[in-house]
Amino acid sequence: MEGLYGDAYRSWWALPDRLKDMDKEGIDIAIGFPTNGQLLGDIVWAKTPDLHEALVTAYNNWVIDYCKDSRGRMKAIGHATPMNAEAGVQEIYRVAKTDSVVGVFHPTMEIDNSWGDTRYEPL
């Protein structure tokens, strides 16, 4: 990995290294999609609504903080909890007020339900 990604890998993709690579590649704006971050708020792991909401909020706070010093060049996809649709909607509105989050990823819905369930309609 180090041979392939160099400074970015050594700094675990710290923003200054990411911006340097973007400059080198001629990329004006990048959007970071959750990779391992998908699992932080996954309801398979976070079985209570309060824990799920806290994990989603923590992830969103992290991506907002990560992008803030990029001068608008780094954007991110945030999360919203489906376990409490109202809290999920509130989180979407909260992150929409930032210039960092440009979309929302919905983690796995509750195992006994599907996205067609009316409880998810507000989302």
Q: Are 80 and 103 in contact (CB under 8 A)?
A: no
Mean pLDDT of successive 10-residue stretches along the chain, which has 123 residues: 80 88 94 77 72 90 95 94 90 96 78 76 86
Q: How far apart are the first and last CA of the chain?
A: 38
- Residue 99: HSE in the Cβ half-sphere, 13 Å Cα cutoff: 8
Q: What pLDDT shows up at residue 51?
A: 87
Q: What pLDDT shows up at residue 58?
A: 92
What six digits make up the tokens of 93?
């509105």
Q: What pLDDT shows up at residue 37?
A: 66
Q: What pLDDT shows up at residue 110?
A: 60
